[in-house]
A and B are shown apart, each in its own frame.
Chain A
Amino acid sequence: MSAVVAEHEHDHEHDHHDHGPAKGILRWIITTNHKDIGTLYLLFALVMFFVGGAMAMVIRAELFEPGMQFVEPQFFNSMTTMHALVMVFGAVMPAFVGLANWMIPMMIGAPDMALPRMNNMSFWMLVAGVLLLASTLFMEGGAPASGWTLYPPLVLQTGKALPFAVFSVHLLGVSSIMGAINIIATIFNMRAPGMTLMKMPLFVWTWLITGFLLVAIMPVFAGAVTMLLTDRFFDTSFFDAAGGGDPVLYQHIFWFFGHPEVYVMILPTFGVASTIIPVFARKPLFGYSSMVYATAAIAFLSFIVWAHHMFTVGLPMAGELYFMYATMLIAIPTGVKVFNWTATMWKGSMTFETPMLFSIAFVVLFTMGGLTGLMMSVAPLDFQYHDTYFIVAHFHYTLVPASVFILMAAGYYWLPKWTGHMYDEKIGKLHFWLSAVSVNILFFPQHFLGLAGMPRRIPDYAVQFADWNMISSIGGFIFGASQLLFLYIVIHTIKGGTGEKVTDEVWEDAAKHGLEWTLPSPPPYHSFTTPPTIIPTEHI
């Protein structure tokens, strides 16, 4: 980013009309402060990360050996379904909304989010949605067990839980739509003078585009699940062949939402990576504007490739070909991004603090997920991969060592700013190495399983798959346990960390890379109450 602050914000402490936070627990319930709400989102996401993680541990424990070990098949399928829903809607998406809340106002020199009261509402609606979803676990007939895609007719066999799951999707949808509207309004209207669009940090850019994706797709998803509900209870036949409907139609509508949805989870990831890598490479981001255009291109393409999830449903030949080539196109802007991150590091004076380690691992491992994606985009080949563990391996590479690793990186990168305390670098590095090694033990063998034909979403399997499953489970247990280190670090840092005094910049020369580093650590409750003036400099 090419901006420095000319007028330093002056201490606001002398202003006695200032409202600090309310006292006690009420502060968190009624808060409209972007930092408080950001904290709430991030902590909530962290809790959900462990809830969803516990479900993953159930899955890997059952798959440790062939045969039925610990849980009933129905419950196993509820676990795969709930694991995905909790991780997507409870952990990854809220974590990025939390980052947006904390960082976007500070990155663009705004005093707060544009619509603070709506901000509060969207957080609590998220909590309500997730609690409603979790409550289905205790209902007659169990939680939804159809897979997170909720395909009919299978999902219509859900017991008492179906309407509750649908309402929970409605709540989660409204919550993320409100979050998205807020972020878009903040970015369009609240920028400090001189913060032109093409000077915005990439995290802001990627969230702007993600915001538009969310506004466009969440209503479609909400509509699709509503149609499931009316098919079940009100005698409509949207997806019921007996009444003249078509179950494949659901898949079209779902993936019209579903494919952009996976980019909702990856675009902000790209943004954070583009923020962190330049700081630790001590170089400006390579190809800033190409990054912006690539993000926009990916977002646009994400709307016209949905049926690559449906190559095997019996698409007409023209459809197979079109969706194959359109999907392959996505690899181009994605490749631009990977190239730019690599070029940013090229001949940089790199240091390898924990946020940078996670970011480098992201670049490498995300690329692997992209490569398997490219393999699957070849329609005739996808007939082999579809609905096998190969798919599971693909999207976990794009989500765990990508989105989740970058969320970890963001945590390490900004925790000192948020709390004013330094985290323990030794434990951070330990967390990184344990995670980076175990995530590969966990997911790499799943490629082999998938190629050998092991179907996804099954609690038992042929003995030929035994060895790789055991290895994968061992990786899973190590990965799961290692995340407790992160929990420890977060708590430890909030409570004072290493005790080392952190500067405003925290990282060497960070202030060249982002406005947030010009504020004290931790920043005052209300920051940039007078907008900073951004004076353009040549690219740093």
Chain B
Amino acid sequence: MHLCVCRYASHVSVNSNVEQKNSRLALKLLLVVLGMTGFGFALIPLYDVLCELTGINGKVGTRVDSSTLNYVVDKERNLGLDLVTSLGKATPLIVETETKSLQIHPGQFYVVNYRVHNQADKALTIRAVPSVAPGVAAADFKIIECFCFEPLRLEAGEAKNLPLRFVVNPGIAQQSNHLALAITFLNTNKD
């Protein structure tokens, strides 16, 4: 049996010129593929850079230096603020806030305390991730001091009081009159 694994049947005249062009184009496209593979991974830092540049990042959780803020307290406005906490999977903590909700004035600095109790019989490294709703208000929610800026270590059975200091920009949009600050506590020990 004669098997045809030649490129074309022998009488087919595809000149070597075309074959060369084909492999060259294939090679170029392969480079595009490699480039796009790199681009896929580069998207991870790129998204952050993009959000930073355009200033549309809806994330809170970066430290704000209070000396850069010269807010005037707006006693006329009362905003509602709900404090919500939740736990990630396999995170043996008890988390309580001193209050579930409070009324605040924009421009005024506040401190709320979070009480975190490690229920496990081993040390845990916890990461607290804050987020603000509605998303449009996130940029106006300035966190000055927080346990969420770096990983948090709790010894076995340890309980801690953790202060969170914040202020809301008096320039916050009129329709944002009720905010929620949600903090999720995640166990970074993967086992």
Cα(A30)–Cα(B10), bound, Å: 17
Cα(A184)–Cα(B29), bound, Å: 9
How many A-B pairs have beta carbons closer than 8 Å: the answer is 146
In the A-B complex, list the 7 residue pairs whose CB atoms are closest, starting with the nearest: A223-B40, A242-B186, A19-B4, A220-B40, A219-B37, A219-B36, A316-B56
Cα(A222)–Cα(B33), bound, Å: 11
Contact B135 A315 (CB under 8 A): yes
Main secondary structure on A side of the interface with B: helix
Please name all residues of chain A whose beta carbon is closer than 8 Å to the beta carbon of B120 when the two chains form the complex.
none
Please name all residues of chain B whose beta carbon is closer than 8 Å to the beta carbon of A256 when the two chains form the complex.
43
Contact B22 A185 (CB under 8 A): yes
Interface centre among A185, A188, A252 (most CB of B within 10 A): A185
Contact B3 A22 (CB under 8 A): yes
Contact A242 B127 (CB under 8 A): yes
Cα(A244)–Cα(B40), bound, Å: 19
Please provide the chain A residues from 106 to 163 with a CB less than 8 Å away from any CB of chain B in the complex: 111-112, 114-118, 153
Interface presence of B177 (CB below 8 A): no
Interface with B: A10-18, A284-292, A507-515, which one? A10-18
Number of interface residues, chain A, beta carbon within 8 A: 58
Please name all residues of chain B whose beta carbon is closer than 8 Å to the beta carbon of A32 when the two chains form the complex.
4-5, 7
Give 23 CB contacts A-B under 8 Å: A12-B11, A17-B9, A17-B10, A18-B9, A18-B11, A19-B6, A21-B4, A30-B3, A111-B14, A180-B29, A181-B29, A184-B25, A185-B26, A188-B21, A189-B25, A219-B40, A242-B88, A242-B127, A244-B127, A314-B131, A315-B135, A318-B54, A529-B12
Please name all residues of chain A whose beta carbon is closer than 8 Å to the beta carbon of B22 when the two chains form the complex.
114-115, 185, 189-190
Contact B25 A215 (CB under 8 A): no
Contact B37 A116 (CB under 8 A): no
Interface presence of A465 (CB below 8 A): no
* Known contacts A111-B8, A220-B40, A19 near B2 by CB under 8 Å: yes
Please name all residues of chain A whose beta carbon is closer than 8 Å to the beta carbon of B190 when the two chains form the complex.
235
Interface presence of A429 (CB below 8 A): no
- Min CB gap A215→B, angstroms: 5
The residues of A with any CB-CB pair to B shorter than 8 Å are 12, 15, 17-19, 21-23, 26, 30, 32, 111-112, 114-118, 153, 177, 180-182, 184-185, 188-190, 215-224, 227, 235, 238, 241-244, 249, 252-253, 256, 314-319, 526, 529-530
Residue in A223, A242, A314 whose CB lies within 8 Å of B187: A242
Residue in A26, A115, A319 whose CB lies within 8 Å of B3: A26
For B49-72 the 0/1 string (1 means CB < 8 A from A) is 000001011100000000000000
- Min CB gap A20→B, angstroms: 8
Cα(A15)–Cα(B26), bound, Å: 31
- Min CB gap B155→A, angstroms: 19
Please name all residues of chain A whose beta carbon is closer than 8 Å to the beta carbon of B37 when the two chains form the complex.
219-220, 222-223
Contact B44 A249 (CB under 8 A): yes
Contact A189 B188 (CB under 8 A): no
Contact B1 A241 (CB under 8 A): no
Chain A: which residue is nearest B10 at the CB level? A17
Please name all residues of chain A whose beta carbon is closer than 8 Å to the beta carbon of B6 when the two chains form the complex.
19
* Known contacts A22-B3, A253-B43, A241 near B186 by CB under 8 Å: yes
Please name all residues of chain B whose beta carbon is closer than 8 Å to the beta carbon of A112 when the two chains form the complex.
8, 12, 14
Please provide the chain B residues from 171 to 191 with a CB less than 8 Å away from any CB of chain A in the complex: 184, 186-188, 190
Please name all residues of chain B whose beta carbon is closer than 8 Å to the beta carbon of A217 when the two chains form the complex.
36
* Known contacts A219-B33, A317-B135, A115 near B8 by CB under 8 Å: no
Please name all residues of chain A whose beta carbon is closer than 8 Å to the beta carbon of B41 when the two chains form the complex.
223, 227
Contact B36 A242 (CB under 8 A): no
Please name all residues of chain A whose beta carbon is closer than 8 Å to the beta carbon of B5 when the two chains form the complex.
30, 32, 117
Cα(A17)–Cα(B10), bound, Å: 6
Please name all residues of chain B whose beta carbon is closer than 8 Å to the beta carbon of A235 when the two chains form the complex.
190
Contact A241 B136 (CB under 8 A): no
Please name all residues of chain A whose beta carbon is closer than 8 Å to the beta carbon of B36 when the two chains form the complex.
215-217, 219-220
Interface centre among B12, B57, B133 (most CB of A within 10 A): B12
Please name all residues of chain A whose beta carbon is closer than 8 Å to the beta carbon of B131 when the two chains form the complex.
314
Residue in B30, B47, B56, B138 whose CB lies within 8 Å of A318: B56
